[in-house]
Amino acid sequence: MSNALIAHLHDLLDGMGRVTTRAMFGGHGVYLDGALIGVVIEEALYLKADNETRLHFEAAGSEPYVYRGQQLPIRMSYWSVPESAMESAQAMKPWAELAYAAALRKTPSKRRK
């Protein structure tokens, strides 16, 4: 991921909370206040979506990130953002808020006993 894209994402999300990025799975994770809200893969941002938010992404013409598994394509719960969202913090805010809400609803993979 280019340093310019990282800086741009920080600018777009600035004011919403603490933004961090970290290398993961051949791309980078984008975190807002410690919650994984998106991934950057091949210089494109994909934001977290779930059953409650996916329709917003679909209505905007966004697509899920799909990668080739060992036998079949695997569809992730991260969706592309409209091009306009990458133009300003104001345009990005509603999409980032949807992703943050989805990230907060995600069930932990390990439950306490």
Reading the block at residue 37, the tokens are: 């809200």
Rounded (5°) CA angle 16-95-105: 80
The Cα-based distances of 72 to 40, 67, 69, 80 in angstroms read 22, 9, 5, 21
pLDDT of residue 2 exceeding 80:
no
**Residue 7 CB contacts under 8 Å (≥ 6 apart), including other chains:** none
pLDDT of residue 112 exceeding 80:
no
Tens of pLDDT, residue by residue over 90-100, are 999 999 999 99
Under the banding of pLDDT at 50, 70 and 90, the label for residue 25 is confident
In the chain, DSSP assigns E strands to 19-24, 27-32, 35-41, 44-48, 64-68, 73-80
Which amino acid is it at 110?
A: K
Domain definitions of the chain by residue range: 3-105
Under the banding of pLDDT at 50, 70 and 90, the label for residue 17 is very high
CATH number assigned to the domain with residue range 3-105, chosen from the 4 options 2.40.100.10, 3.30.1460.30, 3.90.1170.50, 3.40.50.880: 3.30.1460.30
Mean pLDDT, residues 71-76 taken together: 88
Mean pLDDT, residues 39-54 taken together: 94
